[in-house]
Amino acid sequence: MENTEQIGKVKLDYSRYPGEDLYCDGAVEDELLRIVRDLSAVEYEKVIEEKLSWPVLYHLSPLRENIVEWIPLEADARVLEVGSGCGAVTGALARKAGSVTCVDLSKKRSRINAYRNSECGNVTIHVGNFRDIEPDLPADYDLICLIGVFEYGQGYIGGERPYEAFLDILLKHLKKDGRLIIAIENQLGLKYFAGCREDHLGSYFSGIENYVDGGGVRTFTRPGLERILQSAGVTRYRFYYPYPDYKFMTTLYSDRRLPGKGELSNNLRNFDRDRMLLFDEKNAFDGITGDGLFPVFSNSFLVVAGPDVDVDYVKYSNDRAPEFRIRTQIQTGEDGGRIVRKYPLSEAACDHVRQMEAACEKLTERYRGGRLEINPCRLVEDRERGELFAEFAFAEGTPLSELLDGCLERGDLDGFHRYFQEYRERIGYGEERPATDFDLVFSNLLVAGETWTLIDYEWTFGKAIDTRELAFRAIYCYLLENEKRDRLDVDRILEELGITEADAEGFREKERDFQKFVTGGRRSMAELRDLLGGRLLEPQKWAEHWQDSEQVCRVQIYEDRGDGFREDTSYFVKDAYQGEQEITFELPVSGDVRMLRIDPAFCSCAVRILEMTFNGQRVPLERRKLLTANGSVIRPEKKGDGYRLSIVFPTVDPNLVLDLDKLGRKPKNILYVRMETVRLPLSIAQDMAGAVRKRI
């Protein structure tokens, strides 16, 4: 066999190849080889959407490059990539460095790598076992990459301390002040607690149970990785946290910039296997981030060993059309302060970045004299160094979205609407002028006392746009981001804005057009997951299916006499259910009861209140705040002289709360209720509640 092969400008070295591939994914590798040999890289995304195949997505998605694309490298840097596989990140390294040396066991995967990067004259691929190739490698690499490789150290190296030995070998080839990076799953990643299978073994809870069944692959906790690094003599290192994970990273956090509450909502990323849904990861992450525990439960780690990198945070927006793909990062500036930079990720996106400085100037002029600050921006373009970026000041403050969430959590709806009214007044200043940021969503505004700062305005257009449309879009996006926000009274918002249903439908259509404009009509990763991802198995649904309906179909009453609702003083209404769906009961209510809570069932359900009277008088269900519920309320339906109210409860603990103070209670009172209830699977109830909430 020839010791070398040339594919385009890439050289493959087979001098240490054992003669056969020791691992292979079968026919899919032949398919990948045909794709990269016959098509250009710009066609991969179309192929991914057409094939709807996990291996094709995994190996060819441009998002795979994100994990290394941000790493600073000099133009003459030398890079060693161990376990380069099909070249998912090789191209990103080759575009930044002077040379890239790849090592991989598989000849077929190495040929895939070579074909997809055939125009890179600075790439050499060594095929064979790393232990056989390593002695011939030089000792002057600026960067060594282990992307999804370190966990295989036992198989690669062997011995009693395989991972420490792996690092010892690699560090010999790193120049002084060079860096070694390790991307690996977290043994205690939250996704595994929530029901995802262990990535390598395909079994549930393997890492959480500390790999009691053994196996040749294992991941580590952060303390576990630190012990290995320190045992290998590595004293300088820094942890980063790729989200959702290192494979398709969209955001990179660090200890100097951890995620805040509400940021982590992109969690369903099981493309290759079925998974269980044991709890809502977003809600769990909100609690975890609030208590500073994200480094413990991050799904993945990226460890940078060596000199510190001055980058604290990175966000990729490269699931867009090529002309809008950018990278946003927070880093330390020359004066030691923090700055924000936005870089184009393609030649086509350069104009998009260039216009940001002009957008800043236009918006600053529009809001001069108003109460909305525009975060300063300057454009830096150094053609000799090949640098282009828009630089922004690092603004301090609390995202308006977080303040609004706080109001909802406290039940302070009036406070929410005060913020919203102030938002409308501030963004509406100079409405008639031809300069508008279309993306005035709440998360793009930071509030610090009386100062409100717009920090992101890349979607600024040279025309006037109705403030009502901007405010509608902000609410629309706000509701879509988090189901917990469904307690918001949307009708009141629309009424405040003076928006009819026809207006709302027109605004929704504009939003759909805008998303197509931004994405170039390509499918998002969330859409791809829905199309090719594994099943979502919900144990809660199984439990509901087998629940005894006699235990579920019961009505429980709580009375608040000024000290809240208490379980120990609650009671069940005997014979409230007239069959499986109809509920009818009459209750005596003493005069000291201020609030009455009715739990119509012990399962997710839909309820229609057909009749409700208090002391013989109709309860005006259409009045605001008289009757509240922990479900999504559909508009009251006029029926004769009264109203019927329908509510969807996406919870196994549905409840209705009646404010008796507003009904003029007497020393002795009688409440009569007649309603219908229909049990629903939790997932359907959630979808129905979401549809009600999102109808704006």
pLDDT at 266: 86
State the average pLDDT over residues 340-345: 97
- Rounded to whole angstroms, how far apart are CA atoms 403 and 394? 20
State the average pLDDT over residues 663-689: 91
pLDDT at 484 over 80: no
State the average pLDDT over residues 133-161: 93
pLDDT at 545: 54
* Residues contacting 223, CB < 8 A, separation 6+: none
pLDDT at 547: 55
Sort strands 78-82 and 141-147 into parallel, antiparallel or unpaired. Answer: parallel
Give Cα 483 distance to the centre of its chain: 14
HEC profile for 419-444? HHHHHHHHHCCCCCCCCEECCCCHHH
pLDDT at 623 over 90: no
pLDDT top residue among 639 and 664: 664
- Rounded to whole angstroms, how far apart are CA atoms 539 and 651? 15
pLDDT digits (tens, 9 = 90+) for 345-397: 999 999 999 999 999 999 999 999 999 999 999 999 987 777 899 999 999 99
Percent of the chain predicted with pLDDT > 90: 76
- Rounded to whole angstroms, how far apart are CA atoms 92 and 45? 17
pLDDT at 403: 95
Sort strands 595-599 and 605-614 into parallel, antiparallel or unpaired. Answer: unpaired
pLDDT at 525: 86
- Rounded to whole angstroms, how far apart are CA atoms 631 and 647? 6
Q: Which residues pair with 675 in a beta bridge?
A: 583, 609
Count the neighbouring beta carbons within 10 Å of the beta carbon of residue 245.
23
H or E element at residue 355:
helix 350-367
DSSP type of residue 172: T
State the average pLDDT over residues 242-268: 93
pLDDT at 514: 94
pLDDT at 214: 81
Buried b (16+ CB within 10 A) or exposed e, 658-690: bebeebebeeebebebbbbbebbebeebbebbb
Yes or no: say if 456 and 342 are a contact pair by the CB < 8 Å rule.
Answer: no
Long-range contacts (CB closer than 8 Å, 24 or more residues apart) made by 640-646: 642/611, 642/618, 644/608, 644/609, 644/610, 645/608, 645/609, 645/621, 646/606, 646/607, 646/608, 646/609
pLDDT at 695: 45
Percent of the chain predicted with pLDDT > 70: 97
For residue 59, give the nearest of 25, 21, 93, 82 by alpha carbon: 25
Nearest-10 Cα torsion for 394, 395, 400, 403: 100
pLDDT at 580: 79
3-state DSSP call for residue 501? Answer: helix
Count the neighbouring beta carbons within 10 Å of the beta carbon of residue 560.
18
Give Cα 441 distance to the centre of its chain: 17
pLDDT at 65 over 90: yes
pLDDT at 581 over 50: yes
pLDDT at 506: 94
pLDDT at 1 over 90: no
Q: Compute the mean pLDDT over every residue in the chain, rounded to the nearest whole number.
A: 92
pLDDT digits (tens, 9 = 90+) for 179-221: 999 999 999 999 999 999 999 999 999 999 999 988 789 999 9
pLDDT at 44 over 80: yes
pLDDT digits (tens, 9 = 90+) for 465-482: 999 999 999 999 998 887
Count the neighbouring beta carbons within 10 Å of the beta carbon of residue 302.
24
State the average pLDDT over residues 245-263: 94
For residue 31, give the nearest of 53, 9, 15, 13 by alpha carbon: 53
Query: Which position has the token pair 């292979």?
Result: 24
Sort strands 656-659 and 627-629 into parallel, antiparallel or unpaired. Answer: antiparallel
H or E element at residue 303:
strand 300-305
Q: How many helices (H) and strands (E) does the chain have?
A: 23, 36
State the average pLDDT over residues 129-141: 95
For residue 303, give the nearest of 147, 134, 83 by alpha carbon: 147
3-state DSSP call for residue 247? Answer: coil
Structure tokens at 106: 């598989």
H or E element at residue 381:
strand 377-382
State the average pLDDT over residues 538-548: 66
Least confident of 84-88, 426-430, 533-537: 533-537
Rg (CA), the chain: 29
pLDDT at 529 over 90: no
Structure tokens at 311: 């980058």
DSSP 45-86: HHHHHHH--HHHHHHH-GGGGHHHHTS---TT-EEEEES-TT
- Rounded to whole angstroms, how far apart are CA atoms 564 and 570? 11
- Rounded to whole angstroms, how far apart are CA atoms 99 and 678? 66
The fold for domain 4-186+216-258+298-309 equals: Rossmann fold (3.40.50)
